[in-house]
Each structure stands twice: as C-alpha cells, then as structure tokens.
Structure 1
Amino acid sequence: MTSTRVHAFTADDVLGDHDATALAALIRAGDVSAREAADAAVARVRQVEPALQAVAVAAFDAPALQDDGPLAGVPTFVKDNTDYRGLPTGHGSAAFRARPAKKHAPFTEQFLASGMTVLGKTRLPEFGFNATTEYPGGDAVRNPWHTGHSAGGSSGGSAALVAAGAVPIAHANDGGGSIRIPAACCGLVGLKPTRGRMVASEQGRRLPIDVVCDGVLSRTVRDTAAFYAAAERHWQSPKLPPLGLVEGPSERRLRIGLLLDSPTGVVTDDETRAAVTATAAALEKQGHEVEPCTLPLDPRFEGDFITYWGMLSFLASATGRLLLDRHFDGRRMDGLSLGLRTRYRRRIAATPAVLRRLRQASRAAYESALGRYDLLLSPVLAHTTPELGHLSPDVPYEELMRRLTSYVAFTPLNNVSGSPAISVPGAKRTADGMPVGVMLSARDGDERTLLEVAYALEGEREWPRIQAPATDEA
C-alpha cells in the first residue's frame, strides 16, 4: 500500500521539532515570542488543513496571547465540544446551528491556566459518539500517517494536528476511549485521567455516571506531564492524591498484568498483539515482572455500555432544543446517533439495572484484576487503524455497531470504573508503517506510575516519527 503522509515539520520556523515543553522554555528565555509561535503554527495548520480537515473553527486573526503559566505561549486548539468564549461549539453535529459561547467552560479555564494560546477548535464526530472522526457524505478528518486511514475519535481533529506537527499539544476528552483511541491511531501520548482529577464539566455533573474526562494529546510524555501539573495548579481534586510534575521514570520495579485479548471476548489481531508483546518484553528488560492475567468482566458489560451510550444520544436529542439551539432538529443526527437513540428507547425500562451493573460489577471486575498488579498492559484497540469508511456513520447501524464493538473492546472499562489509563506508541508498527498504541491502566489516582512507565518506554526506543520515510523500519 502506498503511504500518503502529511506533516508540517520544518527547520525553517520557530516551532522546528520542539515539543510544548521545549517551546515554552524558548519563549520564557525570550528566544521566541508567543506571537512568533502562534504565527508559525497558523502557517503550519494552513499547510496541512486541506489534506487533514481537522479544524472546526479557526481563530487565527487575534488569538489571546498569554505570558503566564508553565506552557505560556504554546499554540494549541480546544476540541469543539467544549465552550470557548466567543467561539461556537458545534459538537460535530448538523442538527443545530452553533452560536458563539458566552463564557468559557470550567475546563477551558483550567486549560488556559497553563498559558497556552488557543488558535481555534478541532473537529469531532457527532457528540463524540464514534471512534473515528467521520461524517455523513464525507469530509472526514484524515490520519497524517496515511490520509486514507482514520485519525481515530472522538478527538480526531486534535490528534491529526498534533501528529502532523501543526501544534505540539491539543485538548482532547475521553468518554469511551476518545483520548486513547486517536493517540493510538496517530502515534501520540494520550492519558485518560482518574475521574475527578480534572474539573468536572457542567454536563458531566448531571449524568448518572460521568464517563467523560478532559485531557490532552501530545507527542512526548513530558508534555502530557507538564499539562497535568499546570492544570493541578489551577484546581486540585480534594479526593485524589496530588500528582505534581512527573519528570522521568522511577527506579521502582512493578508487577504488571498482561491482557492480550479483550475481556468482552474480542480477539486481538496479529499486528496489534505483536506491538503489545514487544512492549511487554521491553518492560521485562527494564526489570518489571509481566505475566498474563484475566479480567473477569460481567458478560453483560458490552451491552450495558451500549445502552448507556444510547442514553447519551437520547439525552442529546431530547435536550438539544433547550441546551444547544431552539432550532435543534433531531432528525438530522447521523446514523450512529439515531441508531443508538432508537436502541435505547426500546430498552429504556432496563436503565436502573444497567446503571447498577455498570457502577458495581465493572468496578469490582477492574479492582479484582488489579488486585495483585501495579498496572495492566493491554492493546488500546483490538485491531489496527481502519481505512476511512469502515466506521463511517453511513454504514448501516447494526453493521457499524458490530465493527465498533470489534474495535473498541478495551477502553470503555476505564471510563465506567473511573480509573486512569494511558496510550503510548507500541514497540512495533504495522507492516506499512502505521503506529499501534498500547495501553497501561492503573488504580484510581495513580497517574504518576503511568507517566513514569511511559517515560521509561519512551527512553527505551525512539517512538515513530512522521518525518521519517514511509519505508523506515517498523
């Protein structure tokens, strides 16, 4: 297969190959100005956007430059399901007309406390429901590693821009894998934090189970660590241990459980399995003990999660007229959203039992699996990144759900249980050079261990670089 890569990395501007941490240091030292960094990022976005289609709303003309915060002056984007004052919030949906937000969302305030410069908003699938950023009739967000492939979802627009080098870091959030999935597809670092680590959204507070957590996508572990340290300076959860700035690997040796196939019964494909087993070997080389484990998940979990997913679609439709736009037209929701809504309506009476099982059984299964381990190692996804169209909302609903459940088979448990997990590039890539993500999961509040192990893996073998030739060794 001929690889079509798209990136904006160059030595001819102030961004160079710098990650957010390095760029912030240059800005603090006065070697680069925040304006120069923003202008260079805008030029890069304009270069790749025709191929990637990652931007929902551009705010290039007069970005709010900040001079305070650990990442002051670093250019970035906010995902288009989170309010940023003065910019519309479209949620990836054609069912209503987005209007400029009157104020920042609580997380936006926390995000901006880092000092970053927001250049606009990135695209997501409708209401963040899909694992790819595609829309009825086309105009998908494309993967910069291969523009014929998905960039993942739902934070696909952010992932595409970061992987392509347009910006070093961008906002993402995760309700069933939406940070970790695009990180896996695009060769990035994506940490889904513990529930309550970040300030809660107004919508999340009203849900019976708040499955959505905000965070970032980055190209380096230290950028993700720097963001969480900066966010904690703005607001720190009183229910979780402080995280602080994690600056490198630990000397501690861990016991890690290895989960190759999904507890939902989905068998991992060969190339994904190879990436995970190679990562396990790298961890063993570092002195960690890695052994196969099981996760005794209630067989009803998959169906229960889909029911909850459907409830979210039902609520989006039922409340859209009030919360989004008085002209909200639920009939214009895409095929996935409509299918989920219809399925939920047929099963609405089961809601109390579903919520009870999701709260109790999934939590018990996760804690049981971690009982004798410090971390769990698994794939992020059950198979490698699909071509565009495979998960399109134009695919008939029943077939699309079959494809989604055969793909997104590992990530949702962390959202329901509230536990933290991180996606990092695996130690092997696919035969045609695409990255494959691996996932590490931990106990509540233990993002520090996840970041420390991610640092160690990053130092073990240089992760794939999109600037390298498509034929480089996988």
Structure 2
Amino acid sequence: MSRVHAFGDDALGDLDAVGVVTAIQEGAVSIPDVVEAAIARTERVQADLNAVAYVAYDRARNDARDPRGGYFAGVPTFLKDNVDVAGMPTQQGCDAFRSAPLAVDGDFARMFLATGLVPLGKTQLSEFGFSPSAEHPRLGPVRNPWDPERTAGASSAGTAALVAAGAVPLAHGNDGGGSIRIPAAVNGLVGLKPTRDRLAQDKITRQMPVRIVSDGVLTRSVRDTAAFLRESERVYRELLLPPIGDVTRPGRKRLRVAVHTAGIGRASSPEVVQLTLKTARLLEELGHEVEEVPHPAPTTLPDDFLLYWAMLAMMIVRTGRRAAGPTWDRSRLDNLTLGLDRHCRRHLHQVPGAIRRLRRTQAVSAEFHRSYDVALTPTLAHETPLVGHLDPTASYDVVMGRILDWVAFTPWQNATGDPAVSLPLATTSAGLPQGMMFTAGAGAEATLLELAYELEEASPWASITG
C-alpha cells in the first residue's frame, strides 16, 4: 500500500487552515506563496488521485495579489463541482451535458467565499452525487491517498482526497446521504454535516421536498471545522437555530451516549463492530455515560430513503433537456442514475408515503435525543472498498446492493436534519482510516465540536505521512 501526499517544506508545511491564517497574519508566509504552494501540491497529486474537476489557478493567483477580507483571507481551497461559482461551470460529475461558466455565485459559494477563502477550482464527484464512490466512466475514479487502489468515498471524494493529501487544508463538501462524512471516514478527516438550514444553500437544494442536503467542509483538524462554522455564522445566520459560536476547546459536561453497532437494516463487519466498541470504551474512560441501544430509525427508512433518492434521479432524467439545454444526452448517463430512475417509476405511487415518513423522522430523532445527548456509530459498516466495487457502469441491482451494505448509517441524519460528524478515531488491520460518527440533536453542533476536541486530544488521528 503506497500512500500519496504532497506535504513538504513549503509555505503550507503541515499547517491546518487556522495555522495558515496565523502564519499569514504573523508575516511568516505570504498569501501568494501559500496559493502557489497549494497549486504545486495539487498538480503533484492530481495524476495519482484524479480529484480535480476544474482548475481556476489564474483566478486564484489574482485573488492572492488582491485578497478579499475575512478570517480565512488567503487560505487556498476547492469547491465541489455541484455548487455554482461565478466564472466556473457546474458539471455535476456528469457527461450528459456541457455546462458553461456561471455568471454569478450561488448562495452557498457567496457565503463560503465571503470568509476569505481562495478557490483554486472544483473537485470531482460521482454523477449528480448519487454514488458513494466517485468513479467517472470516462475520467476515471477518484482514488484514496491512503491507498490509491481504494475509493476516496462518496460524492465529496475529490475534496477529501485533496485535503487528506495535503494539497489544501480545507475544502467544500456537501452531504445528501453521507457525502461529507463518508469521504472523511475513509480519508482520515473530520467531516461534519451541519443541521438542516444551518448554512446558506443554493436554490435547487432549498426546493427539495425533504431537504436532505447540507453543505460544509472537510478538514484535518477539529479547530478548522469549528472556525469555518464560526466564520460562516458571521456571514449567514439561521435565526431558528441556536448559534454555534466560537468553540475552541473540549466541553466539561459529561454526556449520555447511545451506541449503535448495527446499521439500519444492515450488519457491520466484525472488525468495524470491535472498533466502534473500542471508541465506546474510550468515551467511558473519559467519564461519559455510555449505553448500547437499538437504533431509533423505523424499519421503513432504507426503502423510503432509496425511493426518495430515486425520485431525485427521476426528476433529473426527465427534466434534463429543459434544465441543461441542447447539449443534454440521456444516453451518456451512468447505470446508477438510470437504475434509480427506473426504480422510482416502478414505485411512483409509493413516493408520497415515503416523503411523509421521512419528514416524521425529525420527531422520532427529537424524542430519542431527549434521552441521549449523542449517538455513536461507525460511519460506514465495512472497510473501504477497492475501486470498481461500486462501479456505476455495472448492473444497477449489484451496485445498489453493495451500496446499501456499506452505507448503512449516514442517511438517517439526512432524513432527520440532525448534525453529525465523522472523526478519524479508528484504523483497520489493513492500516486504513475507519471513521467513527457522532450525532446530536438539531442545532447541537457545539456539543459535537466540544466532544470532537476532547477525542482529538485523547486519541490523536493517524497521520498519512506515517
């Protein structure tokens, strides 16, 4: 297993985003040098990882010479290629149309870039974000820097690969079924899916019947995630949610922690169960009250979530020409998207009931979190699969069965809208990261961040540099 990374003795060094900010403010490095280092690092790992969808290096160099304000002024980053950024196309990981560069930023990018971050371009994803492995039929798969024979995980795979490999310290991801948390789990990163509506979102996301998608970032440190949420809240604030504020250290309160080792209708591998129970013992050693209990999700959740996911695919397939224009070519969609479309059409009469039940999960979760502050599960039910295991050009039925076996925990929080974070607390016998996921009630990101700080101190993450 040969790891791929770009850490070295340049302006970025081994700094996280907060470290880069400090170095810039103290005059130890300049913004142009930091941006050039990130460009060089990205170019160094791109051939091995295939993580970049679109480059905007000239724009980044211009921004470096005349940086906008904001706490993260001058910190290089990428955005995932499914949000709108002025001057860049939004290709959605798809070959079925050609996107022209957009005239204006979408709502999320406007908020994201207002924090001062400098975009180098966009990262690769699976087609429309449907697969938990970004394996493009023409461009090839996004590969995991810890082991390039394995997937980098979910539709924020390109982002995660670049952050884990040290190309940039922090980058954008979004999560409609686990796509911040899954790539965080397999790349040894911190990946927090915020509470529904916590951050500004693009119009297409806001219009969903069940707003399952949340935007956020993937980082190498808890403090970077906390700082991003703090700075985002200064730009955009959802008044119906309690503020997160400036979370900088572990909390003092001992928490009531529920543990689930079995997924929603699926079993975890024996090794993943043992790693989860090891994390539970660490929580007990830290003084938290830990109890293994059944998962609160109704048995209908896997089928309802799959049908809702399939409905989104059907809407894309059926309205593609109207949305994308004359370049639309349905025949270039992959088997997973087309299979989801067929699944929805076969079960179309069941969609209204599925939507009703998914909306009710919010109340189920609220009741559960009256008894437990936090729930612990593995982020994924098995270790990271090899590239090709989730190939979207393979038979839909085969690939969907494999997806459901692997992604057995993360959709719950997309249905409920609750915040959840994957932390790189475990390592498999093969030496690969295996994320552990913590969920809190709606609006309780501060609780998750305080716990994450505590666990980061108690059990520091494994390093890709060895």
| TM-score, normalization by structure 2 | 0.97
> How far, CA to CA, are the matches of 2:296 and 2:85 in structure 1?
41
Q: Who is 2:174 aligned against?
A: 173
The one-character-per-residue Cα deviations of 1:237-280 (angstroms, maximum 9, x if unpaired) are 01101111110101111110011111x22111122222211211
1:373 pairs with 2:389 = no
> How far, CA to CA, are the matches of 1:327 and 1:62 in structure 2?
27
The one-character-per-residue Cα deviations of 1:172-217 (angstroms, maximum 9, x if unpaired) are 0000000000000100000000001001320022211111110000
Q: Is the 8 A contact 1:442 1:450 kept in 2?
A: yes
- 1:138, distance to aligned residue in structure 2 (A): 6.2
Q: Who is 2:306 aligned against?
A: 306
Q: Is the 8 A contact 2:85 2:109 kept in 1?
A: yes
Q: Who is 2:403 aligned against?
A: 404
Match runs of 1:230-309 below 5 Å = 230-262=231-263, 264-309=264-309
Name the SS of the counterpart of 1:437 in structure 2: strand
Q: Who is 2:125 aligned against?
A: 124
AA aligned to 2:294 is T
Q: Who is 1:472 aligned against?
A: none
Match runs of 1:57-68 below 5 Å = 57-63=54-60, 64-65=63-64, 66-68=67-69
Task: Give the 4+ runs in structure 1 shifted more than 4 A.
Answer: none
Q: Is the 8 A contact 1:5 1:145 kept in 2?
A: yes
> How far, CA to CA, are the matches of 2:321 and 2:206 in structure 1?
20
- 1:364, distance to aligned residue in structure 2 (A): 3.6
- 1:293, distance to aligned residue in structure 2 (A): 1.2
> How far, CA to CA, are the matches of 1:220 and 1:324 in structure 2?
38
> How far, CA to CA, are the matches of 1:74 and 1:273 in structure 2?
38
CA RMSD of aligned residues (A): 1.1
> How far, CA to CA, are the matches of 1:153 and 1:141 in structure 2?
10
AA aligned to 1:5 is R
Q: Who is 2:451 aligned against?
A: 453
- 1:322, distance to aligned residue in structure 2 (A): 2.5
> How far, CA to CA, are the matches of 1:194 and 1:412 in structure 2?
13
AA aligned to 1:375 is V
Question: Which 5+ residue runs of structure 2 have no aligned equivalent?
Answer: none
Q: Who is 1:471 aligned against?
A: none
Name the SS of the counterpart of 2:375 in structure 1: strand
Match runs of 1:64-103 below 5 Å = 64-65=63-64, 66-103=67-104
Q: Who is 1:24 aligned against?
A: 21
The one-character-per-residue Cα deviations of 1:281-331 (angstroms, maximum 9, x if unpaired) are 111111101110112432221111111001110111222222233321222
Q: Who is 1:385 aligned against?
A: 384
Q: Who is 2:348 aligned against?
A: 348
- 1:137, distance to aligned residue in structure 2 (A): 5.3
Q: Who is 2:461 aligned against?
A: 463
| TM-score, normalization by structure 1 | 0.96
> How far, CA to CA, are the matches of 1:7 and 1:226 in structure 2?
24
Name the SS of the counterpart of 2:290 in structure 1: strand
Name the SS of the counterpart of 2:427 in structure 1: coil
Q: How many residues align?
A: 462
AA aligned to 1:457 is L
> How far, CA to CA, are the matches of 2:188 and 2:73 in structure 1?
25
- 1:136, distance to aligned residue in structure 2 (A): 2.2
> How far, CA to CA, are the matches of 1:398 and 1:369 in structure 2?
34
Q: Is the 8 A contact 1:295 1:365 kept in 2?
A: no
1:39 pairs with 2:36 = yes
Q: Is the 8 A contact 2:297 2:412 kept in 1?
A: no
> How far, CA to CA, are the matches of 2:245 and 2:15 in structure 1?
23
Question: Which 5+ residue runs of structure 1 have no aligned equivalent?
Answer: 469-474
Structure 1 residues 267 and 35 mapped into 2: Cα distance closer, same or farther (>3 Å)?
same
AA aligned to 1:174 is D
- 1:224, distance to aligned residue in structure 2 (A): 0.4
AA aligned to 1:321 is R
Q: Is the 8 A contact 1:295 1:366 kept in 2?
A: no
Name the SS of the counterpart of 1:406 in structure 2: helix
Q: Who is 2:10 aligned against?
A: 13
The one-character-per-residue Cα deviations of 1:137-168 (angstroms, maximum 9, x if unpaired) are 56100000000000001100000000000100
AA aligned to 2:457 is G
> How far, CA to CA, are the matches of 1:285 and 1:138 in structure 2?
47
Q: Is the 8 A contact 1:83 1:101 kept in 2?
A: yes
